[in-house]
Amino acid sequence: MSRRIADYHVHTRFSCDSDATMEAICRAALAQGMREIAITDHADFEPLDPCHGYFQPELYWEAVGRCRATFEGQLMIRAGVECGESHVYRREVAALLSAHDYDFVLGSLHWVDSRPAFDETFFDGLELGEGLALYFDELARLADQGEYDVLAHPDIIRRAVYRRFGLTELDLSPHETQVRRMLRIVAERGKGLEVNTAYLRKGMGEPGPSVQVLRWFREEGGQVVTLGSDGHRPEHVGAGFDRSLAMVREAGLGGLTVFHRRTPTRVLLAGGG
Ligand SMILES: [Zn+2]
Ligand SMILES: [Zn+2]
């Protein structure tokens, strides 16, 4: 893997759903040939979320400081955070981000009106099309009013779709107008999309969002893209990145973006534009 490729979505034991130490995650990144990684533990303010109230920023920052010292000169460690529903929990997110110099903020939509976007119960009482419309409508609100640098797994609804309907692919053509509207908002704010590879690991098909959506994003003026394994264990770091890089290229997006203190820098891909 190119040394310029970084995993911008990984979890450690500061997330409720991971046992991995930050050191182990950093060593895994080095073993993958990476020079940079963003550690993006969950900060969730939605009371229904399993990670609600779990994140302890002071302990997280202690570990970041320790790892930055341990891996100095080998690995650039970006302090990130994955904030759920930052358009709903604006005050809480603002307080969290003002206390430390985060490099990178992932904006996630895990919950829509108390429905979990990652679980089949999302579709209780809803047809596929109705559920998708509900999800992308709320994602547009997050895109517009939320605090984030990059939208994490913008098509996480695929997990619910897979679990309820067994589909590993999602043709969003019937929702093109609605999805493009959301993508235009992201692009106009100078924000980005993540290509998330966790679907591969979970047997739910290709990394997402699809080339179709990435192409729409480029056509709507979008440029900022990061890759994320959404790994919760060391062996997940960088998994599926060759495929997601190919998808980024296929969509005509010639580069990836890295962040320092929330300022984006574009890194061009070899052979890209
Ligand atoms: Zn997430
Ligand atoms: Zn995550």
Contact predicate 204/171, CB 8 Å: no
Cα 271 to middle of ligand 1, angstroms: 31
Closest ligand to 110 CA? 1
Domain-embedded: residue 59? yes
- The enclosing domain of 149 has a CATH number of 3.20.20.140
Q: Give the pLDDT mean for 99-125.
A: 98
Q: Which pLDDT band holds residue 268 (cuts at 50, 70, 90)?
A: confident
Q: Report how far ligand 2's centroid is from the alpha carbon of 17 (Å).
A: 9
* Residue 45 alpha carbon to ligand 2 centre in Å: 15
* Residue 99 lies inside a defined structural domain of this protein: yes
Measured N-to-C along each axis, helices 211-219 and 176-188 cross at an angle, to the nearest 10 degrees, of 50
- Kindly tell me if the per-residue pLDDT of 1 is higher than 80: no
The answer to whether residue 83 sits within a structural domain is yes
Residue 272 pLDDT greater than 60, yes or no: no
Rounded to the nearest whole angstrom, what is the distance from the C-alpha of residue 7 to the centroid of ligand 2?
A: 12
Ligand 2 mean position, distance from CA 119 (Å): 15
Q: What is the DSSP string of the chain?
A: --TT--EEEE--TTSTT----HHHHHHHHHHTT-SEEEEEEEE---TTSTTTTT--HHHHHHHHHHHHHHTTTT-EEEEEEEEE-TTTSHHHHHHHHHHS--SEEEEE--EETTEETTSGGGGTT--HHHHHHHHHHHHHHHHHH---SEESSTTTHHHHHHHHH--S----GGGHHHHHHHHHHHHHTT-EEEEE-HHHHTTS-S-BS-HHHHHHHHHTT--EEEEE--BSSGGGTTTTHHHHHHHHHHTT--EEEEEETTEEEEEEPTT--
Task: Give domain status of residue 185, yes or no.
Answer: yes
pLDDT tier at 269, thresholds 50, 70, 90: confident
Structural domain boundaries, residue 258: 7-268
- Number of domains into which the chain is organized: 1
Banded model confidence at residue 39, pLDDT cuts 50, 70, 90: very high
In a domain, 216, yes or no: yes
Tokens 């480029």 correspond to what residue?
218
In a domain, 41, yes or no: yes
Distance from the CA of 9 to the center of ligand 2, in angstroms?
6
Residue 273 lies in a domain: no
- Report whether pLDDT(271) > 80: no
Task: Read off the pTM.
Answer: 0.97
- Cα–Cα distance for residue pair 140/214, rounded to 1 Å: 16
State in Å: Cα 10 to ligand 1 middle: 10
pLDDT digits (tens, 9 = 90+) for 204-225: 999 999 999 999 999 999 999 9
Domain assignment of residue 1, yes or no: no
Q: How remote is the C-alpha of 125 from its chain's centroid?
A: 28
Contact 163, 118 (CB under 8 A): no
- The predicted-structure confidence for 116-149, as pLDDT tens digits, reads as follows 999 999 999 999 999 999 999 999 999 999 999 9
Ligand (nearest to CA of 118): 1
Quote the mean pLDDT of the chain: 96
